[in-house]
Amino acid sequence: MDKPSALAALQALSQDTRLDVFRLLMRAGPEGMAAGEIAQRCEVRQNTMSAHLSILSQAGLIRAAREGRSVRYRAEIEGVRGLLGFLMEDCCGGNPEQCQTLIDEISLKC
């Protein structure tokens, strides 16, 4: 991941509702959730939620798939790994292998 992409992801996550949505989708796993269900669980109007989902999607943190008349959202694990990798790139003075335990723990949780 490059710096502009990392900044976009961090900016997307810096808003309260978007962070809640992202964490909800991480917990949902590969099944993801329908947009309406996300809005309901977060107690946000659907049109407002649509804007939040769009920002998270553009940042590469979630992805959408149309299922009939609804849209299902899932966490984009590769985007998350890319962001974490970018943040960890200079770990331990540029020797991330020295931080391997932390990197392994993060990878296992993803």
Determine the pLDDT at residue 58.
Answer: 97
Kindly list the structural domains of the chain, giving each domain's residue range(s) and its CATH number in brackets, ordered by start: 3-109 (1.10.10.10)
- Residue-wise pLDDT for 91-107, tens only, equals 777 666 677 666 666 66
Determine if the pTM surpasses 0.85.
Answer: no
- Residue-wise pLDDT for 45-61, tens only, equals 999 999 999 999 999 99
Task: Mark out the alpha helices in the chain (DSSP H runs).
Answer: 3-13, 16-28, 35-42, 46-58, 77-88, 91-94, 100-109
Give yes or no for a contact between 17 and 55, defined as CB atoms under 8 angstroms apart.
no
Provide the CB-side half-sphere exposure for 21 (13 A, CA): 35
Determine the pLDDT at residue 106.
Answer: 61
